[in-house]
């Protein structure tokens, strides 16, 4: 599916932020593991969370969705069971890594596959620590397909993350929870802590401390979890596309409600405010242990910035759309220490670079980042332009937002992957005054 932008749009009005993809998948997995009655509101019905739901149902979770899109988990009479058919996680790297932890920790037998993109992504970061914990796990040179056989886990396990990764951290915590293994994880830089917050919300014996600038997360071997209904806050990664769209289109104002404001995820707001964005945060509150708020974006003039070091893990998913903001800011933006982007759904640094080349945006692409020479003016285009998304939802949405500053429509190719994380993107963008055509 290709999408073509329009040239007379703005991003303005009031919209509700779609549910957080990372949280939606985590609460499904933890909820199913607890095997108690609970209802999930605000669940993101994107392809990635649905792939995780289907995989859980294959091992006996019995998850149901009602006519109001609420997710119901009910106490089962039977435990999870082995499966002969493969568990297909589609494009969901989060679902795959977390399910590998859960299933290996429970001592089940299962095999995993995914789509072409997920099958190309390296999984040694979770395979290696799981094997050290005692998991019997086989892969195709560290990639899918992956098979797990029943095994016995160690009574305790300590792991220092070589690279900051919330998915690896969560995989190990879920494996330890399921196996009854005492876990200690040391992370060099804080990554998103949705799993820790959720475990604590459900009564787990988990604590996080700081030592020599590092986070120490400890999960006890014995945990008595109590399920309760859960409300998923909005995904700030999705809100970022709307925020940048409002900023570069000189919108008179945009309000986004129910945005997740977890401090391990709000780096994108800090970066945009550093660039000069006028963003007001109001109605701050807690929903199911996660902070959230409403955001108002006001007319602003953006300027270039330098981004590197500790902020990068906090904004790793938002760097493509931050790059679009940088392209229409005044001056140079430098992004470093972001080599992780080369092993996402696509090589996102290369994908952004190719899109910029097609649009005539001056930049330099290097191993762990790029320099972007920004200019706040509308791009004058005298011929039709087609930009390749590499079937990557964040690349596709980023360049569709860039279309707001192009003098003629541009076409972004292979946009179907948008539905993995932002299923109502086209409709929501349209409601703000910016039409996208199939």
- Please say which residue of 210, 231, 252 terminates a domain: 231
Q: Could you read off the pLDDT of 181-194 as tens digits, one per residue?
A: 999 999 998 899 99
Residues 31 and 79 in one domain: yes
| pLDDT for the residue numbered 250 | 85
Residues 275 and 298 in one domain: yes
Q: Could you read off the pLDDT of 152-163 as tens digits, one per residue?
A: 999 999 999 998
Residues 374 and 306 in one domain: yes
User: For residue 265, is the peptide bond before it cis, meaning its omega torsion is within 30 degrees of 0?
Assistant: no
- Taking alpha carbons only, the member of 191, 181, 183, 174 closest to residue 218 is 183
- Please say which residue of 172, 205, 231 terminates a domain: 231
- The DSSP string of 314-353 is HHTTTHHHHHHHHHTSBEEEEE-S-GGGGGSSS-HHHHHH
Query: 121 vs 75, 312, 342, CA distance in Å?
Result: 35, 20, 10
Residues 273 and 211 in one domain: no
- Contacts with 58 (C-beta within 8 Å, 6 or more apart), sequence order: 83, 85, 87
When computed from its CA atoms, the radius of gyration of the chain, rounded to whole angstroms, is: 21
Q: Could you read off the pLDDT of 279-322 as tens digits, one per residue?
A: 999 999 999 999 999 999 999 999 999 999 989 989 999 999 99
Largest pairwise CA distance in the chain: 66
Residues 165 and 262 in one domain: no
- Please say which residue of 201, 231, 261 terminates a domain: 231
- Contacts with 410 (C-beta within 8 Å, 6 or more apart), sequence order: 4, 5, 359, 381, 384, 385, 386, 387, 399, 402, 403
- Is residue 317 part of the annotated active site? The answer reads yes
* Residue given tokens 């925020």 in the structure block: 243
Split at pLDDT 50, 70, 90, the class of 344 is confident
The boundaries of the domain holding residue 322 are 3-19+233-437
| pLDDT for the residue numbered 8 | 79
Q: Could you read off the pLDDT of 397-409 as tens digits, one per residue?
A: 999 999 999 999 9
Local structure of residue 389 (DSSP, 8 states): -
Residues 15 and 33 in one domain: no
Q: Which of 235, 317, 391, 392 is catalytic?
A: 317
**How far apart, in whole angstroms, are the C-alpha atoms of residue 400 and residue 353?**
15
* Residue given tokens 């999870």 in the structure block: 80
Residues 141 and 275 in one domain: no
The pLDDT > 70 percentage for the chain reads: 100
Residues 209 and 283 in one domain: no
Residues 242 and 99 in one domain: no
Q: How many helices (H) and strands (E) does the chain have?
A: 14, 24
Residues 53 and 137 in one domain: yes
Give the CATH number for residue 353. Answer: 3.65.10.10
Residues 75 and 223 in one domain: yes
For residue 164, pLDDT beyond 90: no
- Taking alpha carbons only, the member of 68, 164, 115 closest to residue 390 is 115
For residue 227, pLDDT beyond 90: yes
Tell me if residue 379 falls in helix, strand or coil. strand
For residue 254, give the H/E element and its range. strand 254-260
Residues 65 and 146 in one domain: yes
pTM given for the model: 0.92
Number of domains within the chain? 2
């Amino acid at each position: 599916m290709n999408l073509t932008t329009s040239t007379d749009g703005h991003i303005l009005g009031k919209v509700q932020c779609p549910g957080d993809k990372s949280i939606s998948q985590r609460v499904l997995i933890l909820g199913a593991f607890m095997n108690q009655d609970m209802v999930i509101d605000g669940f993101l019905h994107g392809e990635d969370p649905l792939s995780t739901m289907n995989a859980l149902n294959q091992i006996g979770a019995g998850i149901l969705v009602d006519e109001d899109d609420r997710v119901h988990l009910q106490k089962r009479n039977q435990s999870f069971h082995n499966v002969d058919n493969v568990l297909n996680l589609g494009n969901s790297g989060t679902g795959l890594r977390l399910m590998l932890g859960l299933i290996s920790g429970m001592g089940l037998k299962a095999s995993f596959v995914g789509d072409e993109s997920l099958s190309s992504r390296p999984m040694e970061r979770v395979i290696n620590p799981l094997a050290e914990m005692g998991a019997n796990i086989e892969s195709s040179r560290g990639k899918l397909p992956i098979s797990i056989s029943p095994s016995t886990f160690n009574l305790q396990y300590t792991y220092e993350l070589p690279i900051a990764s919330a998915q690896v951290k969560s995989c190990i915590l879920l494996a330890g929870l399921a196996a009854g293994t005492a876990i200690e994880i040391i992370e060099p830089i804080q990554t998103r802590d949705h799993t820790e917050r959720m475990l604590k919300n459900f009564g787990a014996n988990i604590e996080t401390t700081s030592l020599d600038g590092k986070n120490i997360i400890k999960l006890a071997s014995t945990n008595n979890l109590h399920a309760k209904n859960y409300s998923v806050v909005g995904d700030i990664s999705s809100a970022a596309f709307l925020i940048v769209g409002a900023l570069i289109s000189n919108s008179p104002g945009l309000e986004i409600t129910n945005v997740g404001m977890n401090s391990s995820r709000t780096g994108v707001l800090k970066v945009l405010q550093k660039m000069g964005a006028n963003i007001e945060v109001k109605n701050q509150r807690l929903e199911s242990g996660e902070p959230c708020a409403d955001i108002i974006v006001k007319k602003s003039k953006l300027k270039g910035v330098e981004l590197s070091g500790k902020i990068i893990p906090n904004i790793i998913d938002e760097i493509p759309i931050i790059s679009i903001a940088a392209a229409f800011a005044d001056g140079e933006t430098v992004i470093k220490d972001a080599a992780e982007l080369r092993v996402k759904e696509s090589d996102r640094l290369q994908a952004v670079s190719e899109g910029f080349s097609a649009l005539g945006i001056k930049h330099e692409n290097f191993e762990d980042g790029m320099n972007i020479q920004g200019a706040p003016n509308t791009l004058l285009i005298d011929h039709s332009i087609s930009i390749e998304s590499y079937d990557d939802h964040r690349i596709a949405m980023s360049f569709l937002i860039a279309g707001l500053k192009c003098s003629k429509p541009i076409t972004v190719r292979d946009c179907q992957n948008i539905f993995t994380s932002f299923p109502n993107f086209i409709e929501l963008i349209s409601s703000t005054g910016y039409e996208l055509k199939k």
